């Protein structure tokens, strides 16, 4: 086998975002495009020769081809071993689990998360460091810098590896181990949750659930854990076979894209519990029978009840939430006497807190929840935590959430997404808001008075690193907020996310529809940002 050096030239736009590099498949299919980025990753690292790399992805179109390219390049660049999931499959949390369990140097995860898949859709790639978490900014900045100056990449002339056969093969001097993508992750889950109590709940036949894997990566994980190890009836997992195009659907676990699940659980004879995960398995949606749980409330309920799970029986060191996530978790933290950290959006910001033992449970409003068991958000972990809570409390999802509201009050919350905006218009809107922040405090908008307004910045309490320009916050009296930020997860145009929140202590008002309860704040949000005039949109694309 021969190592080959291939001359190349830089591509514009290979700057990793909060979740790596995401582009259309046709962009990645350009000659040398993928190879340039992979070589840039390797050249940004030190001390990896002879070390172990973990590799896998969500199974979307182009996943298998990319795995073979990376295997040959890893061998040519000096890695000693690669652990790759069978079929090229590894959910994002499972990849983190494998990196940590086997002491790998790092890992490459192939995914565009909740974005659509297929020949004309999206693909993504990101590097995770040795703690199992996404590369911090100093690493992604180094990757980007290298991608702008790259002149060549190195690869190995070798046959493709049979990804469907578990076992060990040699690629040059490098060992490739094709591993069971589910086993290590499932074993970790058994150490965290009361599988006996959950299995007993299923065995009674009185509790039913539906899990929608959305033809994405978590299908095999959910079948193994829910149906085989916990004894849920066959068919509990729907859309359980991973497909390259996710069955033509959008693998985003929310009310808009998981319509089949919502219909099943909301039916008169629907199951007690419903859940879904996204393309790469790091997001989740939780619903009860005719009762939707917002991700912000899910984080708060999990934190308040985590001690019911064996892996968390000694309590939590702290809670961390992304800035746009509702303040419901803050109230739980105060009650427990532990800190609650407010970070920018992006799971990598939780990594130092978790590594330092300052936080145990973390969450984002964008359907992401997790803990210190790995360094990624983990959709199936959240589902199992909810099953553990239900099994121990023997209450319905609605009863658990309403009891939580009675104790802590309800942070009524909604997110309005304006997708596919003209980039210049979206950035102009944010510039307009940033300029207005200094003059907003003290202004009244009906019932609400602005107490504070800023462009959120963050200083990491562990390593002292700073991140600015993370979103405009408008903080009102009575605990209400409006937050604006541009999302970095799309591949076309810009997505404006507007987060609206109001605290409601009155139990008699806890069952209000969020859009009605927040109607005045929604109008204020549109007015402040001049959304209509600046974007030409009179309504959001998606409301969650």
Could you give the residue numbers annotated as active site?
113
Q: Give me Rg for the CA atoms of the chain.
A: 23
Query: Cα 511 to the chain's mean position, in Å?
Result: 28
Give the helix/strand (H/E) hosting 516: helix 514-517
CA distance 220 to 209: 17
For residue 421, with 0-12 CB atoms within 10 Å meaning exposed, 13-18 middle and 19 or more buried, which class applies? Answer: buried
Q: Give, in order, the Cα–Cα distances in Å from 117 to each of 225, 239, 307.
A: 25, 15, 38
Phi (first) and psi of residue 172, to 5 degrees: 65, -130
CA distance 153 to 37: 9
CA distance 431 to 418: 17
Phi (first) and psi of residue 330, to 5 degrees: -60, -40
CA distance 243 to 273: 25
Phi (first) and psi of residue 521, to 5 degrees: -70, -35
Q: Quickly count: other Cβ atoms within 10 Å of residue 487's Cβ.
A: 17
State the maximum Cα–Cα separation within the chain, in Å, rounded to a whole number. 73
Dihedral sign of CA atoms 195, 201, 204, 207 in order: negative
């Amino acid at each position: 086998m021969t190592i080959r050096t291939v001359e190349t030239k830089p591509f514009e736009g290979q700057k990793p975002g909060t979740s790596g590099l995401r582009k259309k498949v046709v962009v990645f299919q350009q000659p040398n495009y993928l190879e340039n980025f992979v070589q840039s990753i390797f050249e940004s690292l030190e001390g990896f020769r002879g070390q172990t790399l973990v590799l896998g992805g969500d199974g979307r179109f182009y996943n298998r081809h990319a795995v073979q390219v990376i295997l040959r390049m890893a061998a040519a660049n000096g890695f000693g071993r690669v652990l790759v999931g069978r079929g090229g499959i590894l959910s994002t949390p499972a990849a983190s689990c494998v990196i940590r369990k086997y002491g790998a140097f790092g890992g490459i995860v192939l995914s565009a998360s909740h974005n659509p898949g297929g020949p004309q859709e999206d693909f993504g790639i990101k590097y995770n460091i040795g703690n199992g978490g996404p590369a911090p900014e100093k690493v992604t900045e180094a990757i980007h810098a290298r991608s702008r100056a790259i002149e060549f990449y190195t690869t190995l002339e070798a046959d493709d590896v049979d990804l469907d056969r578990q076992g060990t093969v040699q690629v040059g001097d490098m060992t490739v181990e094709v591993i069971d993508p589910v086993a290590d992750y499932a074993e970790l889950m058994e150490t965290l949750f009361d599988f006996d109590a959950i299995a007993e709940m299923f065995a009674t036949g009185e509790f039913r659930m539906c899990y929608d894997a959305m033809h994405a990566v978590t299908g095999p994980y959910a079948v193994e854990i829910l149906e085989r190890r916990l004894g849920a009836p066959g068919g509990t997992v729907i859309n359980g076979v991973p497909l390259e195009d996710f069955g033509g659907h959008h693998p985003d676990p929310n009310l808009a894209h998981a319509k089949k699940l919502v219909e099943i659980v909301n039916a008169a004879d629907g199951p007690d519990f419903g859940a879904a995960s996204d393309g790469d398995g790091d997001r989740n949606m939780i619903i009860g029978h005719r009762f939707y749980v917002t991700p912000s409330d899910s984080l708060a309920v999990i934190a308040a009840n985590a001690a019911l799970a064996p892996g968390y029986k000694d309590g939590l060191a702290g809670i961390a939430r992304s800035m746009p996530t509702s303040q419901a978790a803050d109230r739980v933290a105060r009650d427990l006497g532990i800190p609650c950290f407010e970070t920018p959006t992006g799971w990598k910001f939780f990594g130092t807190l978790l590594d330092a033992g300052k936080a145990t449970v973390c969450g984002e409003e964008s359907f992401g929840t997790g803990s210190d068991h790995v360094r990624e958000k983990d959709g199936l972990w959240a589902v199992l935590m909810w099953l553990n809570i239900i099994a121990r409390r023997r209450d319905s999802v609605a009863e658990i959430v309403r009891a939580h509201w009675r104790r802590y009050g309800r942070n009524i919350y909604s997110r309005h997404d304006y997708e596919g905006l003209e980039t210049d218009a979206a950035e102009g809107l944010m510039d307009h808001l940033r300029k207005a922040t200094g003059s907003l405090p003290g202004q009244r908008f009906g019932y609400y008075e602005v107490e504070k307004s800023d462009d959120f910045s963050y200083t990491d309490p562990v390593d002292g690193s700073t991140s600015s320009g993370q979103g405009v916050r408008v903080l009102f009296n009575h605990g209400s907020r409006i937050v604006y930020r541009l999302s970095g997860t799309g591949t076309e145009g810009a997505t404006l996310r507007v987060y609206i929140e109001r605290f409601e202590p009155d139990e008699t008002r806890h069952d209000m529809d969020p859009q009605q309860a927040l109607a005045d704040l929604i109008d204020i949000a549109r007015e402040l940002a001049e959304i209509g005039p600046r974007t030409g949109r009179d309504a959001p694309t998606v409301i969650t």
